[in-house]
Each structure stands twice: as structure tokens, then as C-alpha cells.
A and B are shown apart, each in its own frame.
Chain A
């Protein structure tokens, strides 16, 4: 994780960076609240980016990943987009309040970036199986149209990314084991020559999913999701991948 993060009162989100800086983000009940996956993604990208470059934060939410990468001095330019209008407005606001420049656009995946290419694309679109997302607390007032197995949006980003990456560019994407990881990685390997796992983190099943174990069991038996019962709890994972040619 990139330092520590915590939710503050009045819908503020606090992110402590490794360089000692703290970034404050305004958020809203209507947008996705950053999770451990967000910070794991940020940490992985920060460690991998060897030289500064243009960054697209796709599925930016309130802008945490992109703005933090800019705060680390890794962005020659920062672009960000989200399907939520409110998220885009908050990203613009948070960029200004954290002293960073951003081109933020409302966009369904790459629709607003048709003729633009980047050195780094960081994908954080919804990637949880829809049935699970619906009963989880992660998407209370936000959309998660990621398909039955949760792979739809991530696979679309992977498929379209090569058109939006400059030569030598890299795509970073998280895969949650509460989605069809096998399908997503197979798609990445079809589209890119190199796909590597950067980081993986285990999480206990959140309380709001525990009453829905029958659903989770069924989806696991179908091969749609994966989790394990170990150490007296149910464990699922976030894996961060990098893809490039």
C-alpha cells in the first residue's frame, strides 16, 4: 500500500505518500470510495514507472491514483476519465487542491480519448462480478456494469489500450478474484506480448458479503470467481498486472 490511507469525516479521503506528503481528496456518496485495491494499484505503478511520461487514469473515480502519481513527479501530463460526471468534477477539484494539472473528461472507457496515446494507462474501472457488487458495500451509489463475471470492463480496456499506448507504453490493471481472473488474463495475453503480475494482496471477506456466501459458493463452483477458506476466514485477492509489447 502507498503509505496509509483513511477516510476522514465530511467525505474527505486522506492519502499519505511514501515521500512524506499527504494528499487530501474530496469525495462524495455518489462516487466510488477508494479501497485497498486503489492503493495497491498506485503502489505497483509507482514502483514500475522508470521514467516520467504521459499518464491516463481510466476509471479515475475521485482521481486518487493519477493525482498521486503526479505528486510523485511521474507524470509529464495527467489525463483522467470516468463514466461518472460527479467523479470527473471531483477529480478536477482534487487536482487543483493538490497542486496538480489534469485534463479530466467524462468518458465511457476510451470514448473521450479517441485520438490520444499515452505512455502509461492505469485502469481502475469496476471489476467485480455484478451479482457480488450488488450485495457488497463497494458500489452503494455508483454503477458497476462489469458483467456477470466482472470481467467485461477490464477486458474492454485491455482490448482498446493498445491503440492508446505509445511505443513502449504500459498498461496497469487490477484483477479482483471476485471476478473471472482467468478470462481477463487470457484477454491480456491475446492483446499484449508481455503480461506480468506485479503485486498481490489478500483480503478477508467484508462483513456485508458474509450473508451471501451461497451466492459466492455458486459462482466459485461455476468457475466465475475464486476465494479460499483459510485461517478461519474467507480470503479473496487483488492482483496488479502490467501489460506491454
Chain B
């Protein structure tokens, strides 16, 4: 039998040998403790190297690197100052010049926009369930309609928005919780004001385990529940009070 050289032993330890060659080493290792120890050393070193460098895989990737690969970032961002091409100013820019007009988004802004992603998706998907007025968020579209007309005591299973609790708040206005039935679902608290339904809270909704969306009151996100607790005066409306409040225009 040929003696086993270092390179072959290492190839064995690294799983590089074919079955026949491996079997030959297996046989040799069985009665050669020195050889077996060298194989263990080679494998241990490999494991230690993985232990030393694998944690890099779990580190957050610096934003300067990942931002470089986002479609929104221009091809030369971070290394070159982008100047508008003269052609672009004359309105002759082809597709290749278009990225130059995009703004470079710094890492912090990207992180912030990720945090707002759920809300942004929601806005877009429903074509405006929120409108801004004097810097405040107000219900719009089907959300506004659901808050105006919907009754928790007579839920409409086909409506896109489920109404939860209605109650009078400490400042005298009537507030209602709501949960979206379609994903990505949002849940929130809206309080009636002269300008419409002002959104006091808006959070991604969590579907209760096995339960339907209309059990909105019990499955409100914690932040929405906290907003309710901070405002509610007395008890939530019962069916009769809810209907009466609607008929009175939520005043």
C-alpha cells in the first residue's frame, strides 16, 4: 500500500476524494491514530475558521453597500458627482440618462422608508384611504365611508373595513376603531372632528389565531389599544348608542 501524503490526507478531510480513495483512507485511519489525529486537526481548523468568519454573515450589511444595489440608486452613486447631461436639460435624454435625475437616498432615509413601507403599501393599494389636512392624517375614501356608515352591531362581511369599538372620548368627540379585512391589513383609531375622521392611531393589524377579522376589538394592535385606553371616557357604545351616534352625525 502506498504511504498517504499530506495533500491526500487533507483532501480526505475536506471531502475532496472519490469514494474509492476515501475508503482507502478510512481503512488506514482505523489502525493509525497519528493519521486519524491529523484528519481531526484539519477538520477542526476548518470549523474554527468558519466560527471565526461566519458571524460576518449575521452582521447588518452597512447601508452604503446595500444602497449601492437598490434599483433606485444611480449607477455611479457614492463614487461620482452626477451632473445633468446637456442633452437631459434639452429634454433629449434617453433612458440611459434617466437615473441621473433620481435622487441619491442616504442610508438613514432608506431605513426610515423601510419603517414606513407597510403604510406606504396601504396608501397606494387603496388609492387614498388617508388624506392629509393641516398636517394631520384623516380618513378618506372607503375608510371614511366605513367610519361614517358602518355599524359594529350590524357588520357587513363584504365591506373592506371592519368597525370595532365606538366610544366617546374625554375631549367629547366620538372615536371608532377599525380593521382592514384585506392584507396587508392595517388597524387604527379614528376620532370625529369638523374636518372629518382624524386618525389617532394606525398600525399593521395582526390576525387573531384562527379568528375572523371582525373580532377587531379583541385583536387590535397594542398601540391602537393604548390609543383607545388613553381617550375612552366610560364604556364603549352598545348597539343602540352606536346607531344613535350615527344618526346624529357622530357629534
Co-complex (A, B): no
Interface residues of B (CB under 8 A from A): none
Interface residues of A (CB under 8 A from B): none
